[in-house]
């Protein structure tokens, strides 16, 4: 291999790709770009060994926080803006359909199937307000889309989703609907005021100073929201109010 220096280390690592097992063309393209940009980043900021170890520890703690209902690395991708960028690249919009958005770290698969007009509320809160949603699922020409499955989920008035709050019932404020033709799909849900969901999240806020924690927390502060996901094989769905 010869002598590895700061000037050739990137080329040496890239040249080693595939030596311990075949990789396809796309994998080689991705890894080559990743290594190039990662090495460039380290050189740009003159990354030191202690900083590298702190980053490794940060990622290790993030991994230890993950479980069957919580994916910390998706949350990290959200904070860094990577998740939304990947979604934009994967799902470009050019035909008038509803824009795609990221699922985020709080989505859960297989929520309970609800009949029309049902409520997703399993637990009530003192400061809650109730909202009633009614809408249609149509294609870009206004025709009804049958066979669509619509998931809905939201955080509670305390700012927490049920998979981050042991005091909420399983799948609280979550449900799955099956719209039919032009008939409105309706369900009652809780409507809430501002809540900072992320202040209770660790290790993403295990920063080195109080100032750092405040900066990240402020970035994530947002109004509580209700999220809808419409899915139908090989179809671009449009949710119209």
Same domain for 79 and 189: yes
pLDDT digits (tens, 9 = 90+) for 26-48: 999 999 999 999 999 999 999 99
Same domain for 16 and 84: no
Give CA–CA dist 231/53, Å, rounded: 42
What sign does the dihedral 57-59-60-61 (CA atoms) show? Answer: positive
Between 64 and 179, the more confident residue is 64
Same domain for 179 and 141: yes
Same domain for 91 and 41: no
Q: Does any domain span residue 68?
A: yes
Q: Does any domain span residue 117?
A: yes
The domain that holds 205 is classified in CATH as 2.60.130.10
State pTM to two decimals.
0.58
What is the mean pLDDT of the segment spanning 126-148? 74
Instruction: Report how many domains make up the chain.
Output: 2
Same domain for 190 and 123: yes
Cβ atoms of 143 and 137 closer than 8 Å: no
Question: Does 209 have pLDDT greater than 80?
Answer: no
| pLDDT value of position 183 | 56
Range of the domain at 139: 62-240
The chain-wide mean pLDDT, for the chain, equals 75
Same domain for 200 and 86: yes
Same domain for 71 and 43: no
Same domain for 32 and 68: no
Give phi and psi for 152, each to the nearest 5: -135, 140
Same domain for 119 and 225: yes
Give phi and psi for 223, each to the nearest 5: -65, 140
Q: Does any domain span residue 54?
A: no
Q: Which of 43-57, 62-76, 138-152 has the lowest mean pLDDT?
A: 138-152
CA-nearest of 175, 146, 103, 152 to 235 is 146
Give CA–CA dist 15/32, Å, rounded: 9
Cβ atoms of 142 and 135 closer than 8 Å: no
């Amino acid at each position: 291999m010869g002598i590895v220096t700061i000037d050739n280390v990137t080329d040496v690592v890239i040249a080693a790709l595939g030596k311990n097992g075949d990789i396809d063309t796309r994998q080689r393209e991705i890894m080559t770009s990743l290594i190039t940009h990662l090495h460039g980043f380290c050189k740009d900021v003159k990354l030191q060994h202690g900083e590298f170890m702190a980053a490794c520890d940060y990622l290790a703690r993030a991994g230890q926080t993950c479980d069957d209902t919580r994916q910390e690395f998706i949350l990290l991708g959200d904070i860094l803006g990577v998740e939304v960028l990947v979604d934009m690249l994967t799902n470009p919009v050019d035909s008038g359909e509803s824009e795609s958005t990221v699922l985020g770290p709080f989505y859960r698969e297989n929520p309970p199937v609800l009949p029309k007009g049902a409520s997703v509320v399993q637990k009530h809160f003192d400061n809650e307000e109730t909202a009633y949603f009614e809408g249609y699922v149509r294609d870009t020409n206004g025709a009804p889309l049958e066979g669509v499955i619509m998931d809905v989920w939201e955080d509670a008035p305390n700012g927490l989703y049920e998979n981050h709050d042991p005091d909420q019932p399983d799948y609280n404020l979550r449900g799955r609907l099956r719209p039919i033709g032009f008939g409105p799909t309706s369900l009652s849900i809780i409507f809430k005021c501002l809540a900072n969901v992320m202040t209770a999240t660790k290790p993403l806020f295990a920063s080195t100073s109080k100032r750092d924690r405040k900066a990240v927390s402020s970035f994530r502060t947002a109004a509580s929201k209700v999220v809808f996901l419409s899915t139908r094989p090989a179809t671009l769905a449009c949710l119209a109010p």
